[in-house]
Amino acid sequence: MKPTIVLYLFLIAASAATAQTVPEVDSTDLFFRHLDLKEVVVTGSTGATKLKEASAPVTLVTQQQLQAVSSANLIDAVATLPGVSQITTGSGISKPVIRGLGYNRILVVADGIRQEGQQWGDEHGIEVDAAGVSSVEVLKGPASLVYGSDALAGVLRFNSAPIVPLGHMRAGLSTEYQTNNGLVDYSLHYGGNVGGNVWNARYSDKWAHAYRNRYDGRVAGSQFHERAAQLMGGVNRRWGHTRLTLSYYHITPTIVEGERDETTGELLCEYGTPGQYGHGMPYQHVRHYKAAFDGTVALGRGKLNALLGYQLNRRQEYDDAEHPDDYGLYLKLHTASYNVHYTLPTGDGWQLTAGVGGMWQRSVGGGEEFLIPDYRLTDIGLFATASKQWERVTLNGGLRYDHRHLRSDALADDGVPRFDELRRNFGGVSASAGVVFHACEHWDFRMNVARGFRTPNVSELASNGVHEGSVRYELGNADLKPEYSLQFDLGAEVSSPVVAAQLALFLNHIDNYIFLHRVDEVVEPGYDTYRFDHGDARLWGGELSVDVHPLHALHLGASLGYVNAVQLHQPRESRHLPMTPAPRLMFDAKYELCHDGRVFNNAYVAANVDINFPQNHYYAAWGTETVTPAYTLLNLSAGTDIMLRGRRVAQLTIVASNLTDKAYQSHLSRLKYADVNPVSGRRGVYNMGRNFTFKLTIPLEWKVR
């Protein structure tokens, strides 16, 4: 049935090929695209600015880069960047980590507003359709100045496709197949711009059965199904623009628990078949509804921008094989957010921005199980930024104050108190100042200092219950204080016809760093107990990337990411912070076969060596973490545009991941600590083995009268 749907949509798109298409210029030349990116406007820690003028480290991941990697979800593709990694639960659930910090310290922005969807949970992924993302901005470092609390580690900003040019319409179909987990997906979109009236519609579907590796065979519980839809409408006028985006996202992931057959050592699945599509047990239904409004009006010499949003996140957890349709845990989160700011260019190189932003939240629980209490949250922040540009120097900075009120409800479970009423008020000041020095045509230097602020979330403060998705009992700490960070960044960049290189170094001190660790007590039989705690932390490290361009067709690249994260004034077993990524070194080689072929255009072949060093710095107290051995992965890829009468009619990409079928465990994989295999004696579940990915995109564009 599902391949039939894909074929049906393929035929619809192909039948539309009789419409007049418009030729596109599309180069895979990495070096020249790097030069072009300098003029791109990004949203940094002090607001919208050109990438070359940003004092804080910002990386832009283009659509071509997203297309060239194999990924089961959106974070998979972004985690290939130096300094960016991911916490995984199987192949369907990933959480971003920037320079060793994750969870509520990273803010995700999609459709212009902050994404809110119970992101405190280990197995709570990002509810964003990867097919609808055109590019990704990755801001490394505190961004509380613009975004408020929860942007302590950085921001992932997912950008939708650009508005179609005036008088044009676009449509297209993209589809993908992966051999290891049988992943098959498709996405169909249609948009246009007629008389300044703009619109875009997209529908996506994705299925995957359980993945396999050399040690575990089929990993029962790693299957998932994802579905998404989006509709955008708006107008472009001389006075400004408006956009209203409505979206729906639904994922049904099965959760890997790690239980095994005592005789064979095979992973067990209570409900469903690992090699077939469909969910197993336990599993979740996660639905995310969102309405986002983006409006800009020219006002005087400046412009007034308003970003308004409403989101509803519904997360249901099912864990009873005898009653598979009865959920045990039900979390429903309402979020209304706002950001209104005015930007004024003064004409003498200064640009001033001032505004207000915040949100209101209401979380309601249901079902027979409890993990966090019902709560209400209000948040408001006032901020102002300024930048000044001279011929070779750019200065920027700003100030922000946030106030947040959190109130959670008391609850008794069968007459036994589960949650106490909690009322907390938090206030904090964020600040940032930076400078960019353009020493000459090829050399740029950057320096930035930022103070970040994050309030503890309701899970850290008040959780008290079994988290089936994490297979553990979690206890909050009502005495936790807000986190404050002070980060220093230094950067240098060189671009020449032969070499492009970037170096970014950072030092980050965090007061009251909050983390979760295992404790030596049993609250619920059969589950390990974990408690939230806090302490002062220091993180330092950096990223280095080099792209050598000795020939026009040949690219040789290397990148290195390293972070050292410790808790101050602690003994050896609790000195290193949990979930710190291992050092990572990557080598890339790419050869461009042609740029002007009649049938094949922009064709290339590429190889990637992904070296992950051992992680000997881990939180050892109470057996929370263990050492992770080194491993190396070999990946190959190839791609081309397919041309017909001088026009691009399709784009084909083939990726071979983990070509040697290496059995490995990432240090940030939650499945690393699953049960021991009684046959082999190995603990935990291993990551995906060899995988071949095939991607096909059919773009269409035509003019209208």
pLDDT at residue 274, as a whole number: 64
Structure tokens at 288: 């995310």
Which helix (H) or strand (E) is 464 found in, with range? strand 464-467
Average pLDDT for 255-281: 79
Distance of CA 67 to the CA centre of its chain: 16
How does residue 35 score in pLDDT terms, banded at 50, 70 and 90? Answer: low
CA gap 230, 249 in Å, rounded? 9
**More confident of the two residues 34 and 531:** 531
Residue 482 confidence (pLDDT) above 50: yes
Give the closest residue to 434 by CA, choosing from 399, 394, 400, 401: 394
Residue 686 confidence (pLDDT) above 80: yes
Residue 451 confidence (pLDDT) above 70: yes
Output b/e per residue, 555-567; b: 16+ Cβ within 10 A: bbbbbbbbbebbb
SS3 category, 9:
helix
pLDDT at residue 21, as a whole number: 37
Q: How many CB atoms lie within 10 A of CB 393?
A: 12
Structure tokens at 274: 């690992």
**More confident of the two residues 597 and 348:** 348
CA gap 432, 434 in Å, rounded? 7
The DSSP line for 124-153 is ------GGG--EEEEEES--HHHH-TT-SS
Residue 10 confidence (pLDDT) above 50: no
Average pLDDT for 620-646: 92
pLDDT at residue 47, as a whole number: 66
**More confident of the two residues 84 and 93:** 84
Domain coordinates in residue numbering, the chain = 2-530+547-703
Lowest mean pLDDT among 51-60, 214-223, 635-644: 51-60
The three-point CA angle 629-633-634 to 5° equals: 160
Assess if CATH 3.50.50.60 describes domain 2-530+547-703.
no
Tally of residues, the chain: 705
- Contact indicator for 446, 438 with CB cutoff of 8 Å: no
pTM of the model: 0.90
Lowest mean pLDDT among 32-41, 86-95, 296-305: 32-41
Give tens-digit pLDDT for 65-81. 888 888 888 888 888 89
**More confident of the two residues 281 and 378:** 378
CA gap 456, 377 in Å, rounded? 12
The DSSP line for 494-551 is EE-SSEEEEEEEEEEEEEEEEEEEEES--SSTTSEEEEEEEEEEEEEEEEEEEEEEEE
How does residue 13 score in pLDDT terms, banded at 50, 70 and 90? Answer: very low
- Contact indicator for 437, 46 with CB cutoff of 8 Å: no
CA gap 375, 407 in Å, rounded? 6
SS3 category, 520:
coil
pLDDT at residue 72, as a whole number: 82
Alpha carbon separation from 419 to 90, 411, 463, 464 (Å, rounded): 32, 5, 8, 7
Give tens-digit pLDDT for 208-263. 999 999 999 999 888 999 999 999 999 999 999 999 999 999 999 988 888 888 88
**More confident of the two residues 366 and 654:** 654
Structure tokens at 296: 């800009």
Give tens-digit pLDDT for 619-631. 998 888 999 999 9
SS3 category, 17:
helix
The percent of residues above 70 in pLDDT, for the chain, comes to: 92
Lowest mean pLDDT among 29-38, 398-407, 439-448: 29-38
Read off the amino acid at residue 312: L
DSSP state of 45: T
Lowest mean pLDDT among 323-332, 555-564, 565-574: 323-332
**Which of 55-64, 261-270, 348-357 is predicted most confidently?**
348-357
Phi, psi of 700, deg, nearest 5: -135, 140
| Mean pLDDT value across the chain | 87
- Contact indicator for 394, 387 with CB cutoff of 8 Å: yes
pLDDT at residue 468, as a whole number: 65
Give the closest residue to 427 by CA, choosing from 475, 381, 473, 462: 381
pLDDT at residue 39, as a whole number: 63
pLDDT at residue 494, as a whole number: 92
Average pLDDT for 82-89: 89
HSE-CB of 520 using CA atoms within 13 angstroms = 4
Summary count for the chain: helices (H), strands (E): 6, 38
The percent of residues above 90 in pLDDT, for the chain, comes to: 58
The DSSP line for 638-652 is EEEEEEETTEEEEEE
DSSP state of 684: S
Output b/e per residue, 485-523; b: 16+ Cβ within 10 A: bebebebbbebeeeebbbbbbbebbbebbbbbbbbeeeb
Average pLDDT for 286-296: 96
CA gap 673, 165 in Å, rounded? 51
Q: Is the peptide bond before 482 cis (omega within 30 degrees of 0)?
A: no
Residue 19 confidence (pLDDT) above 60: no
- At a CB cut-off of 8 Å and minimum separation 6, what does 41 contact? 48, 49, 50, 51
Place of tokens 């983390």: 515
How does residue 198 score in pLDDT terms, banded at 50, 70 and 90? Answer: very high
DSSP state of 46: T
